[in-house]
Amino acid sequence: MIKIGFEQIDHTADVGIHSFGEDIEEAFEDAAKGMFSIMTDISDIEKKVERSVKIEADNLESLLVNFLSELIYLHEVHEEFYVGFDVEIKENDMIILTAKIKGERINLEKHEIEGEVKAVSYHELTVDPEGEIRLILDI
């Protein structure tokens, strides 16, 4: 008998990251490293190019989502992997993140692409200002 139609199946298209640092800035840096470690072996990435990022948000959760989303954007537009992150977070009227990010252009002879991160989710997102983050990435 030939089966026709469709059925729903369980499919998980997400991966979680738990990052922690001595402060919130280090936790943001480690979340970014964790995200790129899903894409490739970050030990193979050299710090050949440097880019600057500036993000503003009302709260730390939005700041993290916007920061990681900007990194995904830069990764896709410039075809680069990043591994070095120097994050500074200051509060004014808004919370402002500035960062220097370092990495290199993707070279398929050197870098094996292990996965793609499509988006950062607010689902189950927690950001502790003392330096601990839990987040879900859509892969």
Ranges of the chain whose pLDDT falls below 70: 1-13
pLDDT in the model for residue 35: 93
Sign of CA dihedral 52, 64, 74, 39: positive
CATH node for 21-138: 3.55.10.10
Joined together, the tokens standing for residue 16 give 């979680």
Write the pLDDT tens digit of every residue in 89-105: 999 899 999 999 999 99
pTM value?
Answer: 0.90
